[in-house]
């Protein structure tokens, strides 16, 4: 290939890259102008102190500066033009490798919000941006090396170090990508201990009570444990227990309640009371341990995608202890240091109508709340990061109920407030086992909800020292011999009603009697006719 042809190809490549950079800069600026405010205020996954709008503006400015350098400042100097292209593409490469190291799965922001406008999928956007990135990086790197070998060494020497800076930027950004992420990803590693203070106030009369205490949380994702020491609480019949603990293993969630030292020990309640649930989410009715889990461990379940989604159910008793049930929520991240999760209660739901022979029916809220209402919120602030964990130093959990004589679905009153404050973070590098829930001389009454596959919704037994595995032969044999009961039967019995199976049996008998009576009446009418 002649020198003239090679020179023309180089000039054509440089010219195309210059105009491509200008087009992508304009696209980014247009994307900033057309994108939603929530998207622009969302924290960047790799650079948490910058939001999406700031990152897109910075990228557009970089591309515009490179266009000016290529077309004006370094016009006619092909070597310096290649260096500008390589410099720009190296910055994009370091950013992309940082996202790759974090296992980021979201859409590329190279085209702003035009993906949604043009109805392009995330995969299509990522493919387009990757092709553009390769078009900038590969030819410029090859041609720079080629020009560097054949050109004037003194002219190009100040820019040769840029190639090593490019490699260093990739290495350093890959290292810092795990700790600077606003999105908690699978890169979490190491053990972390959190210590703090918990305060809860239930404001509704006649069930007003308050308590506060100290807690310690141990996390080695996905395993975790919580211990809570109640230091002060009001004494009433709804708050018998003070000290609590919870633990998550591969077999489920264990929640231990100890009789409060501040209350008189009752003879009809054991000292230790242990609930065992399948899955890895504690039920909302477990109170303190659920609040501590929601404030400190649950943030790992949400990413920085603002908008509607589905997450762990926070409070619907009709789910019958189903900790894997999902509810609608709205997630908000201001891109700085505050995140908020708002739970939404549906205006219609299925339930049993006890006044109509426990028939399953759709129940609707009053007309004002047919679209539901926001019944709980979690607000995190003052975060810190360590090894992929985004630890909120302060969290507030609020529950809402509609006020009487409300004229709008927004007229809600706060029924309870739980405040969780982290006071100390202890980092442990050595691998350790989960802290034990029971000591050597502890005895606990257990209600185990893991044996639903055997038709047993709740299996009661007593243990000492340790918690048996659900694969324990004696426990499995006991579960197979235990009377079969559904979750609905358990819930109805604990509410003081007959088991739902008896209601259904009575309904079938009554329906049969009605059918026989109707059939006899038809036969009698036919014989009389």
Residue 115 pLDDT > 80:
no
Question: DSSP strand E in 278-324: where?
Answer: 307-312
- Tell me how far apart the alpha carbons of residues 214 and 230 are, in angstroms, rounded to a whole number: 7
- Tell me how far apart the alpha carbons of residues 284 and 293 are, in angstroms, rounded to a whole number: 10
For the stretch 88-110, pLDDT in tens is 888 888 887 777 765 565 566 66
| Residue 314, pLDDT score | 47
- Tell me how far apart the alpha carbons of residues 108 and 98 are, in angstroms, rounded to a whole number: 13
Question: For 323-332, 333-342, 420-429, which range has the lowest pLDDT when averaged over its residues?
Answer: 323-332
Q: Inter-axis angle of helices 122-150 and 3-34, to 10 degrees?
A: 140
Burial of 496 (0-12, 13-18, 19+ CB in 10 A): exposed
- Tell me how far apart the alpha carbons of residues 459 and 490 are, in angstroms, rounded to a whole number: 11
The predicted model gives 65-89 an average pLDDT of 83
| Residue 153, pLDDT score | 42
| Residue 24, pLDDT score | 85
- Tell me how far apart the alpha carbons of residues 167 and 175 are, in angstroms, rounded to a whole number: 13
User: Tokens representing 267?
Assistant: 């003879």
Q: Cα 452 to the chain's mean position, in Å?
A: 27
The predicted model gives 400-417 an average pLDDT of 76
Tell whether the torsion through CA atoms of 382, 385, 388 and 394 is positive or negative: negative
The predicted model gives 121-136 an average pLDDT of 77
Q: How confident is the model at residue 467 (pLDDT cuts 50, 70, 90)?
A: confident
* 296 or 312, greater pLDDT: 296
Q: How confident is the model at residue 321 (pLDDT cuts 50, 70, 90)?
A: very low
Q: For residue 438, how many C-alpha atoms fall within 13 Å in the half-sphere facing its CB? A: 21
- Tell me how far apart the alpha carbons of residues 430 and 262 are, in angstroms, rounded to a whole number: 37
| Residue 244, pLDDT score | 84
| Residue 82, pLDDT score | 80
Residue 385 pLDDT > 50:
yes
């Amino acid at each position: 290939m002649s020198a003239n042809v090679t020179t023309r190809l180089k000039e054509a490549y440089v010219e195309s890259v210059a105009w491509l950079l200008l087009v992508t800069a304009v696209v980014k600026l247009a994307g900033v102008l057309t994108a939603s405010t929530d998207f622009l205020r969302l924290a960047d996954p790799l650079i948490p102190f910058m939001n999406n709008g700031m990152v897109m503006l910075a990228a557009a400015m970089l591309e515009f500066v490179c266009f000016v350098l290529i077309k004006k400042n370094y016009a006619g100097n092909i070597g310096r033009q290649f260096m500008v292209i390589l410099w720009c593409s190296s910055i994009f490469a370091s950013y992309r490798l940082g996202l790759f190291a974090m296992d980021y799965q979201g859409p590329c922001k190279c085209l702003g919000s035009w993906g949604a406008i043009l109805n392009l999928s995330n995969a299509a956007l990522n493919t387009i941006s990757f092709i553009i990135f390769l078009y900038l990086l590969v030819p410029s790197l090859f041609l720079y090396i080629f020009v560097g070998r054949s050109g004037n060494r003194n002219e190009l020497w100040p820019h040769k170090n840029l190639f090593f800076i490019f490699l260093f930027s990739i290495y350093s950004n890959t290292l810092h990508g795990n700790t600077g992420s606003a999105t908690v990803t699978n890169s979490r590693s190491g053990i972390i201990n959190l210590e703090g203070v918990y305060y809860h106030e239930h404001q509704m009369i006649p069930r007003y009570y308050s308590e506060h205490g100290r807690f310690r949380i141990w996390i080695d994702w996905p395993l975790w444990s919580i211990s809570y020491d109640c230091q002060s609480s009001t004494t009433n019949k709804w708050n018998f227990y003070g000290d609590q603990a919870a633990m998550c293993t591969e077999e489920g969630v264990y929640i231990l309640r100890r009789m409060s030292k501040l209350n008189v020990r009752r003879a009809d309640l054991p000292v230790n009371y242990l609930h065992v649930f399948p899955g890895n989410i504690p039920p909302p009715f477990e109170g303190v341990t659920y609040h501590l889990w929601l404030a400190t461990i649950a943030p790992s379940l949400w990413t920085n995608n603002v908008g509607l989604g589905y997450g762990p159910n926070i409070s619907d008793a009709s789910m019958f202890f189903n900790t894997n049930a999902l509810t609608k929520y709205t997630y908000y991240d201001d891109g700085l240091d505050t995140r908020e999760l708002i739970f939404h209660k549906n205006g219609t739901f299925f339930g049993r109508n006890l006044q109509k022979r426990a028939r399953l029916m759709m129940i609707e809220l009053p007309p004002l709340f047919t679209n539901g209402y926001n019944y709980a919120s979690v607000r995190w602030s003052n975060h810190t990061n360590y090894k992929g964990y985004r630890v909120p130093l302060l969290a507030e959990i609020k529950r809402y109920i509609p006020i009487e004589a409300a004229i709008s679905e927004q007229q809600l009153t706060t029924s309870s407030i739980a405040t969780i404050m982290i006071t100390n973070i202890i980092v442990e590098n050595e691998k350790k086992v989960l802290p034990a829930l029971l000591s050597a001389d502890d005895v606990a009454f257990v209600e185990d909800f893991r044996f639903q596959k055997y038709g047993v919704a709740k299996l009661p037994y007593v243990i000492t020292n340790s918690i048996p595995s659900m694969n324990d032969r004696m426990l499995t044999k006991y579960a197979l011999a235990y009377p079969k009961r559904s979750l609905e039967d358990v819930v109805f019995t604990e509410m003081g009603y007959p088991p739902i199976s008896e209601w259904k049996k009575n309904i079938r008998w009554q329906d049969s009697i009605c059918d026989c009576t109707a059939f006899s009446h038809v036969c009698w009418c036919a014989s009389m006719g």
